[in-house]
Amino acid sequence: MPTKIINRRLLVIICLCLLQTRVQAAEVTVQKNSASGLLTWTSKDDGFSIELIQLLPDFVRAVYDKHGLPADEVERIAGYCDFGTIIQNTSQQQLSYRVSDWRYIDKNGKAYPVKTKAQWLEEWRKAGITFAWTLLPGSGDFGVGDWQQGFTTIKIDRNEKFDLVYTWTLDGKKHQGKIENMSCAPASLPTSQTTQ
Amino acid sequence: MTMKTRYPFKSIATLLCCLLMFSAHAAERQQPKLGYNLTAISKPIPAPGFTLEDMDAKKFSLKDYRGKVVLLNFWATWCPPCRREMPSIERLYQHFKDKNFIVLALNQMEDGDQVFTYTAELEVAPTFPILFDKDSDVSRAYSVLGLPTTYLIDKKGNIRFRAIGGREFDHPEVEKQILQLIQE
């Protein structure tokens, strides 16, 4: 087969692959809480919005302690970089997402999968924990107006910045968004802020 | 579950402080507006049956409500959108309770004390049955992935509509859909 035809076919395949995942030019806003200094990232993409709110480790400890998790498991999840997450279908069509497709990228450009709810539940099950809520569901098929919230957990050094790449499927087409330069909540708030 | 030593908080004050800080943080943010769209199930499927108890250990079975439209709400007291939508569910219930309509609110993995404390905080306490899905077995049968999730079940016992996330259930559009199911 002539090289020209092969190259043309290759070009068509590459174009098709690029069309499969539409990279969005998302509108990302970062909001700083005036009292706590904690940050919230909001990204509004085509038909999908995501909001990630920094969570203090002590808040995460309080949540899971209240739900009766053993101290070592409470400490383990509080050791992650945790975010309260709200995702919404803002389109007028069916939308789906899978957290297992999401990635976070460290300062060296290395991408890691975001830990899913199913992975947490499997670990909790082995530890004898039956509690199964509060984490962001690992997947969802959203109708018009559907939305969901829960915790997202990132395994990264608390002081390290990272980018989050998330995907969703709308009307059969896969979309991708990115929030750059994210950071974890501090290990604790300065004393002056916690006593105010 | 094996009960181990509880996490040793330095003080209750630290915990309260964290919760207050988070509440303030959350309050400062714009909470997602509660919508009113319900997703129609293209191929209605039979609603899985269940029998659960309420706070007074009275048993409720879904099959007892055949012939009525059932709004089945999966919720928990710690879930902010569940709390936000609850008053609208009560208003909806008041509107339709005499018209072959019932609300069954299935609390997930909490106990009577937690729910009692929560309902006491509400301006208008729910008058519909609140049932305890203590091990979330029913939520699993309904493939509920997150809270709140709500299903509308028709008089024949088929799931017809679904809502993931909080809604304003007494919105005229929702009431119209319920009325249509009641009149079928």
At A100 the three-state DSSP class reads helix
Asked whether B126 and B83 are in contact (CB, 8 A), the reply is: no
* Whether the bond into B44 is cis, omega within 30 of 0: no
> pLDDT averaged over consecutive 10-residue blocks of chain B (184 residues)?
41 44 48 89 95 97 98 96 95 96 97 92 91 97 97 98 97 96 96
Quick one: closest CA in A to B25, which residue?
A33
More confident residue, A135 or B4: A135
Q: Which of A19-23, A45-49, A146-150 has the lowest mean pLDDT?
A: A19-23
Compute CA distances B72 → B98, B144, B157, B166, whole Å: 17, 11, 12, 13
pLDDT score, position B12: 43
Are A53 and B29 within 8 A, CB to CB?
yes
* A134-161 average pLDDT score: 97
Which chain B residues are Cβ-neighbours of A194 within 8 angstroms? 14, 17-18, 21
pLDDT at position A19 over 80 = no
pLDDT score, position B4: 40
The C-alpha atoms of residue B12 and residue A155 are separated, in whole angstroms, by 28
The C-alpha atoms of residue A153 and residue A52 are separated, in whole angstroms, by 11
pLDDT score, position B5: 40
Mutation choice for B interface testing from A90, A146, A195 by most B CBs within 10 A: A146
Asked whether A47 and A93 are in contact (CB, 8 A), the reply is: yes
Query: Taking all residues of chain A, what is their mean pLDDT, rounded to a whole number?
Result: 89
More confident residue, A4 or A160: A160
* Chain A closest-CA separation from residue B93 CA (Å): 22
pLDDT score, position A21: 52
User: Letter for the amino acid at B90?
Assistant: E
Are B162 and A71 within 8 A, CB to CB?
no
pLDDT digits (tens, 9 = 90+) for A50-97: 999 999 999 999 999 999 999 999 999 999 999 999 999 999 999 999
Domains contained in chain B, CATH given: 33-183 (3.40.30.10)
Are A147 and B165 within 8 A, CB to CB?
yes
Asked whether B128 and B102 are in contact (CB, 8 A), the reply is: yes
* Chain A closest-CA separation from residue B31 CA (Å): 9
The percent helix, strand, coil of chain B (3-state, each to 5) is: 35, 25, 40
Which chain B residues are Cβ-neighbours of A132 within 8 angstroms? 109, 136
* A85-113 average pLDDT score: 97
The C-alpha atoms of residue A43 and residue A28 are separated, in whole angstroms, by 4
* Chain B closest-CA separation from residue A36 CA (Å): 6
Beta strands across the sheet bearing A27-32: A27-32, A39-44, A48-54, A81-89, A147-154
**pLDDT category of residue A25 using cuts at 50, 70 and 90:** low
Mutation choice for A interface testing from B11, B25, B84, B161 by most A CBs within 10 A: B25
Q: Rounded to the nearest 10 degrees, what angle do helices B80-96 and B172-183 cross at?
A: 50
Asked whether A92 and A170 are in contact (CB, 8 A), the reply is: no
pLDDT score, position B122: 86
- ipTM of the complex as predicted: 0.84
Asked whether B144 and B115 are in contact (CB, 8 A), the reply is: no
pLDDT score, position B32: 79
**pLDDT category of residue A190 using cuts at 50, 70 and 90:** confident
Which chain B residues are Cβ-neighbours of A146 within 8 angstroms? 37, 39, 163-165
Q: Cβ neighbours of residue B76 under 8 Å, at least 6 residues apart?
A: A133, B82, B107, B108, B109, B110, B147
A&B contacts, CB < 8 Å = 135
pLDDT score, position A23: 55
The C-alpha atoms of residue A183 and residue A160 are separated, in whole angstroms, by 7
Quick one: closest CA in B to A55, which residue?
B22
Asked whether B153 and B70 are in contact (CB, 8 A), the reply is: yes
pLDDT at position A129 over 50 = yes
Are A144 and B39 within 8 A, CB to CB?
yes
Are A40 and B108 within 8 A, CB to CB?
no
Which chain A residues are Cβ-neighbours of B162 within 8 angstroms? 143
State which H helix or E strand residue A65 sits in.
helix A57-66
* Chain A closest-CA separation from residue B53 CA (Å): 20
Quick one: closest CA in A to B150, which residue?
A146
* Best CA proximity match to B106, nearest among B157, B68, B141: B141
